[in-house]
Amino acid sequence: MHIIVTGGAGYIGTHTCLELLQSGHAVTVIDNLSNSCQEALRRVERLAGRSLRFFPADLTDPAAVDDIFRQSRDAAAVIHFAGLKAVGESAVKPLLYYHNNLTGTINLCQAMQRHGVKNLVFSSSATVYGDPASVPIREDFPLGTCTNPYARTKAMIEDILRDLHRADAAWNIALLRYFNPVGAHESGEIGEDPNGIPNNLMPYIAQVAVGRLPQLAVFGNDYPTADGTGVRDFIHVVDLAVGHLRALEKLAQQPGVAAYNLGTGHGCSVLELIAAFEKASGRKIPYRITPRRPGDIACCYADPSLAQRELRWKAERDVAAMCADTWNWQSKNPNGYRSDAG
Ligand code: NAD
Ligand code: UD1
């Protein structure tokens, strides 16, 4: 199949493009490189031994998007990763986030409609559940109160896509709610390369381990969890990427619109992740306990059984593999993709 991948140069996008190419699919990437670089796509091509087609375009430009679809007559489906994702920045620049994420998605769907491509996989997030009443979280839990504009863009886009299907049943849409993607391809050639100081736990730990940052701050040890630190469902990015291929197969059965949790079903605390990373890397991770980060919840992990039943997908890689692969990527590329680019 020919798959259009928006945001394909980013962290999850590159890993998914690689799985698509390795499974024999043709891939067209649309990315404005606002949070990524073309070197990442070159490495994907090298790993796959095949090339993909790349359009450096912005989804907020409807003419550019339409033109790409005009040049992609045999496209069967779209995987839509493109979006801005920094929670803190979204509170400071809400209009940027609403414009980029919502307008970008609407332009994309309009072009898809115009060109008769009505199969879509969308990157949603466990953040749409807010602070869940209990764990593990099932897809039929009520969608929670979002605490920031980024989270609201995900909840709003889910609503828009459900409305689109209600208006035209020919649309088939998988809303994939990711838990906490971490790790890297086992080659160490592609991985997460955040701009500036990382906001998220795993890339922060990795940069401390490699000596780019001096110390980790653990945001609170007074949560009602076993060791007092936050508990999350970390999922290996390659497992996540494979989940997108299973979702595409599901769309071929014309299921309408459906939401799926992509997580392992296991909770891991901040202190447990630090210990696992120390073991994988052989490096000490200095840390200090600081107050809670506003908006954080105590505990969040998935019930992934719906994806297992309906997508025939299950996460295979454990926390040890997530840490080993993150360390392999970070130690081979201490400055991310810039190491090679100079
Ligand atoms: P990323 O920033 O690495 O990738 C997103 C890509 O989209 C980047 O390459 C960026 O340049 C591109 N992009 C952004 N706006 C664009 C636009 N208007 N036009 C064209 N390209 C644009 O992020 P990621 O971690 O790979 O996340 C991918 C998707 O998954 C995002 O939608 C994100 O919100 C969602 N998600 C990520 C996580 C996570 O922890 N990484 C968790 C849940 C959901
Ligand atoms: C973050 C996003 C969320 C997104 C999710 C996907 C924030 C506030 N939320 O969630 O919208 O859907 O990623 O991956 O960014 N921690 C530390 N020190 C750090 C960083 C984090 O102790 O330097 C702790 C946090 O308090 C939390 C855990 O580590 O308990 C995980 O944090 P993080 O990696 O930022 O992910 P989430 O907060 O789950």
pLDDT digits (tens, 9 = 90+) for 127-141: 999 999 999 999 999
Of all protein residues, the one whose alpha carbon is nearest to atom 31 of ligand 2 is: 201
pLDDT of 340 higher than 90: no
In this structure, the residue with its CA closest to atom 10 of ligand 1 is 35
- 297 Cα to the center of ligand 2, angstroms: 9
CA of 34 to the centre of ligand 1 (A): 9
Q: Could you say which ligand is closest to the alpha carbon of residue 287?
A: 2
Which residue is associated with the tokens 């390795």? Answer: 22
User: How far apart are the CA of 40 and the centre of ligand 2, in A?
Assistant: 24
| Alpha carbons 330 and 192: distance in angstroms, whole number | 9
Residues at CB less than 6 angstroms from ligand 2 = 87, 125-127, 150-151, 180-181, 199-201, 204, 216-219, 230, 232, 270, 293, 295-296
For residues 184-201, average pLDDT? 96
Q: What is the mean pLDDT of residues 235-256?
A: 98
On the 0-12 / 13-18 / 19+ scale of CB atoms within 10 A, 286 is exposed
Dist. CA 98–CA 115, nearest whole Å: 25
Question: Looking at residues 112-139, what average pLDDT do you find?
Answer: 97
Arithmetic mean of pLDDT, 181-197: 97
Contact predicate 134/299, CB 8 Å: no
With 90 as the cut, is the pLDDT of residue 144 above it?
no
237-243: average pLDDT: 99
Atom of ligand 1 nearest to the CA of 180: 40
Over residues 146-168, the mean pLDDT reads 97
Question: Which amino acid is it at 15?
Answer: H
Among 180, 227, 285, which is best to mutate for testing ligand 2, by the most ligand atoms less than 8 A from CB? 180
SS3 of residue 174 by DSSP:
strand
> Which residues participate in catalysis according to the annotation?
150
Residue 341 has pLDDT above 70, yes or no: no
Task: Locate the ligand 2 atom nearest the alpha carbon of residue 125 and give its number.
Answer: 12
- Please list the residues that pair with 27 across neighbouring strands: 3
Look at 288 and 144; give whichever has higher pLDDT.
288
Task: State the pLDDT at residue 339.
Answer: 67
Q: Which residues' Cβ are closer than 6 Å to ligand 1?
A: 7, 9-13, 30-36, 58-60, 81-85, 100, 104, 123, 125, 178, 181
Cα 228 to Cα 224: distance, rounded to the nearest angstrom? 6
Ligand 1: nearest atom to the Cα of 124: 44
Residue 66 pLDDT grade (very low, low, confident, very high; cuts 50, 70, 90) = very high
- What is the SS3 assignment for 110? helix
Ligand located closest to 200 CA: 2
Identify whether the C-beta of residue 326 lies closer than 8 Å to the C-beta of residue 182. yes
Average pLDDT of the chain is 97
What pLDDT was estimated at residue 342? 40
The CA 83 to ligand 1 mean position distance, Å, reads 4
pLDDT digits (tens, 9 = 90+) for 1-48: 999 999 999 999 999 999 999 999 999 999 999 999 999 999 999 999
Q: Which segment of 60-69, 141-150, 231-240, 245-254 scores lowest on mean pLDDT?
A: 141-150
What tokens were used for 128?
């749409």
Pocket test of ligand 1: the residue of 79, 81, 128 to mutate, having most ligand atoms within 8 Å of its CB, is: 81
273 CB-near residues (< 8 Å, 6+ apart): 201, 202, 205, 234, 319, 323
3-state class of 192 per DSSP?
Answer: coil
Q: How far apart are CA 266 and CA 99, in angstroms?
A: 35
Query: Rounded to whole angstroms, what are the CA distances from 327 to 24, 34, 180, 276, 333?
Result: 29, 25, 17, 11, 10
Between the CA of 173 and the centroid of ligand 1 the distance, in Å, is: 18
State pTM to two decimals.
0.98
How confident is the model over 285-291, as a mean pLDDT?
98
Per-residue HEC secondary structure of 292-329 comes to CCCCCCCEECECCHHHHHHCCCCCCCCHHHHHHHHHHH
| Per-residue pLDDT at 104 | 98
CA atoms within 13 A on the CB side of 128: 24
Q: Which H or E run contains 290?
A: strand 287-290
For residue 288, the cross-strand partners are: 217
For residue 235, report the distance from its CA to the centre of ligand 2, in Å: 13
Q: pLDDT > 90: what percent of the chain?
A: 98
Distances (CA, A) of 278 to 39, 244, 272: 29, 31, 10
